[in-house]
Structures are given as structure tokens and as C-alpha cells.
């Protein structure tokens, strides 16, 4: 823990890494002088904060309170509802997006922590009319039933394919461990990812 203050996300809190209660997006650690941010960090909130980030290749600026998750900002402020709020606690992967190319459960990240980063949602995965190979394979192999988990599944699968992590059935299953499908469509999903990886 730093000498003065730390930034915490909801994920940090659940992991037990955060030792103090959330106040805005910057919290004082033990012994820190109250109300003063350490060098290199700025205190934000508790009122609305301007958040500028790249969203699906375009610059986006929104104003949200520091308590707002990236998922809620995307769905309720920006109007992109592809990422789904299912468990809202990091357990299902339905809200998966990419932040700087890495998969993130957007229900577990504060929108203010996305400032200056590149956010990609399912709405930004295709290049115009050209679907990502994982999207094409999902269609070909009928890798969905109700479709509620599908946006998050595809974002995780596309990341693993792009990053060369879909080496075999076992590695695909490992990479998908954080994405749950209540309809049990897993065999079709695994087959789709295997084909996209080829
Ligand atoms: S809604 Fe985010 S992990 Fe389930
Ligand atoms: S297709 Fe229904 S939850 Fe996965």
C-alpha cells in the first residue's frame, strides 16, 4: 500500500486489496492526511466527473459520479446495451468489454478508471459489415440459445483468439472460465472458437 492514498476499483474491494472505504475514486490509506491527494494522483468526486475515453474507435466524453460503474455508464449514459448486467458482481462475464485490449468485467470497474483508455464493446467488434472471425463462427455453429451471455462470451473468445490463447479445447475452456452460460451452449461455443482460431 502506498504511503498516502490508493486508488481502488470495486474489483480491488472484493479482492480485499482495498483497506479503506470508497470515497470518490481516491481514498486515504491509514495515516494519510485527510483531503489531500498524493503526488501524481488527483481526487475526484463526490460530484459528477468528466470522463473522456476512446469508445469503439471514437472519442467519447461523459459526466458521471465516481460511483458509477463502466457497465452502467455504457448502458445508461451512452446507450450501448450490448454488455449485459446479469450478476453485477464479477461472477458471470456477461458484461465483458475490452479496456486497452484486455478483457474486463465492466460491472467491476468504475467509469472514472476508464479515463484516457480505449474501451471496446461488442458494438465495436465488427469492422463495418465484416464480422470478427469469432462472430462469424458463432453464427455458423449456432453457438447461442437465449443469447444473453453471448456478447460477453464473444468479447472473451475474440480476445483469446486475437491473443493466440485458443490453443486447444483445454485452453479455450480455461480462458472461458469466467463466462457463464445458463443455457449450456458450451460445446457449440468451444467448436466456434476452435474454428475461429484456425
Ligand atoms: S454482470 Fe458483470 S460479471 Fe456478471
Ligand atoms: S445462450 Fe442463454 S445464457 Fe448463454
Identify the pLDDT of residue 33. Answer: 59
Contact assessment for residue 124 and residue 56, using Cβ atoms and an 8 Å cutoff = yes
CATH homologous superfamily for the domain 49-122: Beta-grasp domain (3.10.20.30)
Segment among 3-12, 38-47, 50-59 with least mean pLDDT: 3-12
| CATH code, residues 133-197 | 1.10.150.120
Q: Give the pLDDT band of residue 14 (cuts 50, 70, 90).
A: very low
Q: Which of 149, 154, 157, 186 should be mutated for ligand 2, with most atoms under 8 A from CB?
A: 149
pLDDT at residue 20 above 70?
Answer: no
pLDDT at residue 18 above 60?
Answer: no
Looking at ligand 2, which atom is closest to the CA of residue 145?
Answer: 1
3-state secondary structure of 155: helix
Identify the pLDDT of residue 124. Answer: 98
Contact assessment for residue 12 and residue 20, using Cβ atoms and an 8 Å cutoff = no
The ligand 1 site (C-beta within 6 Å) comprises 85-88, 90-95, 105, 107
Record the pTM. 0.82
- Of the two residues 68 and 21, the one the predictor is more confident about is 68
Q: Which of 84, 182, 184, 188 should be mutated for ligand 2, with most atoms under 8 A from CB?
A: 182
What pLDDT digit, counting tens, does each position of 93-149 carry? Answer: 999 999 999 999 999 999 999 999 999 999 999 999 999 999 999 999 999 999 999
Question: C-alpha grid cell for residue 140?
Answer: 455458423
Contact assessment for residue 154 and residue 103, using Cβ atoms and an 8 Å cutoff = no
User: H helices within the chain, ranges in order?
Assistant: 10-15, 70-72, 133-140, 150-162, 169-175, 186-197
pLDDT at residue 77 above 70?
Answer: yes
Enter the DSSP assignment of 168. S
Question: For the chain, what are the domain ranges?
Answer: 49-122, 133-197
Looking at ligand 1, which atom is closest to the CA of residue 95?
Answer: 2
Q: Within 13 A of 31's CA, how many CA atoms are on the CB side?
A: 4
Amino acid at each position: 500500500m502506498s504511503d498516502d492514498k490508493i486508488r481502488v476499483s470495486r474489483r480491488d474491494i472484493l479482492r480485499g486489496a482495498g483497506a479503506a472505504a470508497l470515497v470518490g475514486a481516491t481514498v486515504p490509506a491509514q495515516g494519510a492526511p485527510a483531503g489531500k491527494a498524493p503526488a501524481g494522483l488527483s481526487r475526484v468526486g463526490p460530484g459528477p466527473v468528466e470522463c473522456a475515453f476512446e469508445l469503439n474507435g471514437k472519442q467519447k466524453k461523459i459526466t458521471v459520479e465516481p460511483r458509477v460503474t463502466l457497465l452502467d455508464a455504457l448502458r445508461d449514459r451512452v446507450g450501448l446495451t450490448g454488455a449485459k448486467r446479469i450478476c453485477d458482481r464479477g461472477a458471470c462475464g456477461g458484461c465483458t468489454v475490452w479496456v486497452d485490449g484486455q478483457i474486463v468485467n465492466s460491472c467491476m470497474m468504475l467509469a472514472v478508471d476508464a479515463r484516457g483508455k480505449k474501451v471496446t464493446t461488442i458494438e465495436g467488434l465488427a469492422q463495418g459489415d465484416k464480422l470478427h472471425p469469432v462472430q462469424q463462427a458463432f453464427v455458423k455453429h449456432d453457438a447461442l440459445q437465449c443469447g444473453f451471455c453471448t456478447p460477453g462470451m464473444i468479447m472473451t473468445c475474440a480476445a483469446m483468439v486475437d491473443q493466440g490463447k485458443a490453443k486447444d479445447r483445454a485452453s479455450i475452456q480455461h480462458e472461458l472460465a469466467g463466462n457463464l452460460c445458463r443455457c449450456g451452449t458450451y460445446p457449440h461455443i468451444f467448436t466456434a472458437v476452435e474454428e475461429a482460431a484456425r
